[in-house]
Amino acid sequence: MGFFDPFAELIQNGMDAVDTRRREDSKCRKHISIAINLQDNSITATDWGVGFRSDQFKTFLCPNISFKDGLISRGKKGVGATYLAYGFNHLKLMTRTADFEMVAEIKDGRKWLDDTKGIVIRPKVTEIPAGDKAFSERVDRGSSFTLWVDGENTRPKDLGWIGASTAEQWKTVLLLKTPLGHISLRESLGKDVITFDLDVTDTNGKMTSLRDQIASYVYPHTVIPGCICLQDVVSEQQRRIEKDLDASKLPDRFRNQNAIYGVWKTDEIAKFFPASDEAEHRALVAKFSIEAYGFFCYSTSIWDYFNDSVAKLRKGKRILLKGGLQLATDGMPQGDLLIIPLTSNTGYQNQSHVVVHFRNADPDLGRKGFQPELREVAEVISAAVVGILKKRRHLLKKDSGVVPSIVDEGKLDTWMQEQRQYETTNPLTFSNPNFFLPLREISITSKPRSEQDVIVLFNQLIAGGVIRGLKLMATSSHQQYDGVYRYSVKNPVENHVFDRTINPLGVPDVQLKGEYTSKPYVLEYKHNVDALIQEFENQEKNESDVNLVVAWDIGSEWKRRYAVTSLLDVNNIQHRPFHGVTHIFRDQNSGDVRFYGIILSELVEALNDFNGSQAKQSLRYGETL
């Protein structure tokens, strides 16, 4: 069982019920209602569908019994209701038709299923005398299921785990993780759309509600602004060709975007497989009318920003939008995201969200996976989609590692007010009296939020004598790398000697042999080192070319790829190659140096309290090679 499985089963059954009723009555509104109660860990799905006849009600919880039309309904195998009854310990059922009405419940289904000693009595469906007044008043025909999910050995145990507590948050969750997020790539939803109401009660008993929402998948470009459509780019290029203009020089409105996306129809996908290629793949594309949606963003931090700051779910978990391949059939997302199988530029796997949709393809094991041949063709398609989109990555923003702002920040005065607030809550101060004389303060007043801020701060640290001997030869935002520098030691060389009080970024005196000037080296600026590692993995930059990265934050991706030696730990001072270097990034296996780092946030921390920073550095980086 997965966290979202009970939601998916309850909602899918309701959607099928209202679809069935619409086929019987063209004037019937396709509408369902969902209630999530975090106080008692319950989920309720109510539909204005066909309801159950008496004979159907007696058997629908049995395995492999379904009353749905397998050719047109979402559910087909008759296992969903059985899962709800015996995967949990309390299910309440209400149904109403012209000839039959019933309110009943089944308890201890999961306890009986897990019982190996024959202690638990076999559960039965029991009629409840008192019905639900609201259900009777609102629903002339249909069904309502309430499932409590806090039983032993059940999943989920706590509906609050993901951090969603309002109707707006849960709406996004359900549209991305359940059949409520209907996928329609070939045509608009039109008048046949299913609508839904959503009520969420938080742990304090406060209810938030949404009414008449549209059941449609949350495609990333619909919630992340600053995205361009591939088809629009192609159309503009064609227009320029027809006017004898340079097709490679697109207007500014196409540039500096957060992402690019596109949709591919069945006939377009068939062209992914030339005649000399896999005939089986081409046959599957036609048989299942395969379609695809692709989204490629400039930075994986967009996913974190959306999840943490927009959807405001459990931080760092990327519960909702993230990179990967989403398989779907008959309008429903199915199963967890798969890895897009790129053979090169593997970092792009995490920057891409691809949906591959089948018509009339049954997933195995309920909704857990598809037949191997369908999964294989979907993986090939997803890789092709990413290959097409990444060719236009020059139209996207440059990834500096800073957390992206995907929300419109409004007018200039609003931005100015926000910046003043940021300066107040994130001041940048130096308490060490040995630097920035005579005022003993730095000109940049708040912690860097962009790569440009990092450059400004770094240059001030050089000008203020905090970092000594670095000679910046060139800085460029247009070339492959950001800059070139030399390291230079000039008399008096004592200015470069380490002293934990007056010169904590220096080198041991035994390493200084007099005046010296190095050859040129490549320098990279980043707000976060994760962005540089992403560029290495995408083969946009060569690790062997880069000698030094200057960044505000070290990030977390280094843990997968490098062993880091902290030179702010006084026990490692003998490894510092030249003044100001704070970290060494080494190969995890060989221990060879890959490049050096100046991590400004930790540098500032050490300058303000060198002795106090020692334990923190040891804890962060542990044993070094």
CB contact set of 209 (below 8 Å; sequence gap of 6+): 167, 197, 198, 199, 200
pLDDT of residue 296: 97
Least Cα distance to 503 among 580, 393, 442 occurs for 580
Task: Give pLDDT tens digits for 383-440.
Answer: 999 999 999 999 998 887 766 665 544 444 554 455 456 546 666 555 555 554 444 4
Residue 312 burial by Cβ neighbours in a 10 Å radius (0-12, 13-18, 19+): middle
pLDDT of residue 437: 42
Q: If you average pLDDT over residues 80-97, what whole number do you get?
A: 88
Strands 195-201 and 207-214, sheet pairing: antiparallel
Distance of CA 617 to the CA centre of its chain: 30
- Percent of the chain exceeding pLDDT 90 equals 47
The encoded tokens of residue 403 equal 């957390």
The encoded tokens of residue 324 equal 């990967």
Least Cα distance to 264 among 174, 157, 356 occurs for 356
Q: If you average pLDDT over residues 226-236, what whole number do you get?
A: 93
pLDDT of residue 335: 83
- CATH class, domain 5-214, is alpha beta
The encoded tokens of residue 454 equal 């990092």
pLDDT of residue 416: 45
Give the Cα separation of 99 and 126 in Å (integer). Answer: 20
Q: Yes or no: say if 132 and 94 are a contact pair by the CB < 8 Å rule.
A: yes
Q: Is 182 helix (H, G, I), strand (E, B) or coil?
A: coil
Measure Cα distances from 320 to 184, 219, 475 in Å: 19, 11, 38
Q: Is 450 helix (H, G, I), strand (E, B) or coil?
A: coil
The encoded tokens of residue 119 equal 């202690």
The encoded tokens of residue 159 equal 């509906």
Q: Is 525 helix (H, G, I), strand (E, B) or coil?
A: strand
pLDDT of residue 201: 97
pLDDT band at 473 (very low <50, low <70, confident <90, very high): confident
Which residues of 21-97 form beta strands (DSSP E)? 31-37, 42-47, 90-96
Q: Yes or no: say if 36 and 147 are a contact pair by the CB < 8 Å rule.
A: no
- In one-letter notation, the amino acid at residue 249 is K
pLDDT of residue 375: 92
The encoded tokens of residue 502 equal 């007056």
Whole-model pTM above 0.85? no
pLDDT band at 41 (very low <50, low <70, confident <90, very high): very high
Least Cα distance to 544 among 520, 564, 522 occurs for 522
Range of weakest confidence among 58-62, 218-222, 513-517: 58-62
H/E stretch holding 211 reads strand 207-214
- Is the pLDDT reported for residue 315 higher than 90? no
pLDDT of residue 139: 76
CA angle 297, 402, 411 (to 5 degrees): 85
- Is the pLDDT reported for residue 555 higher than 50? yes
Give the Cα separation of 188 and 196 in Å (integer). Answer: 18
pLDDT of residue 216: 92
Exposure b/e, 63-95, CB count within 10 A at least 16 = b: eeebbbeeeebbbbbbbbbbbbbbbbbbbbbbb
Q: If you average pLDDT over residues 242-257, what whole number do you get?
A: 87
Residues in the chain: 625
- Is the pLDDT reported for residue 376 higher than 70? yes
Q: If you average pLDDT over residues 18-37, what whole number do you get?
A: 92
pLDDT band at 441 (very low <50, low <70, confident <90, very high): low
Least Cα distance to 461 among 497, 493, 432 occurs for 432
Measure Cα distances from 160 to 20, 156, 169, 174, 313 in Å: 33, 9, 12, 14, 10
Q: What integer best gives the mean pLDDT of the chain? A: 85
Q: How many other CB atoms are found less than 10 A from the CB of residue 427? A: 10
Measure Cα distances from 516 to 191, 490, 497, 507, 578 in Å: 76, 7, 14, 14, 11
pLDDT of residue 57: 84
The boundaries of every CATH 3.30.565.10 domain in the chain are 5-214
Alpha-helical runs (H) found in 426-549: 451-463, 529-537
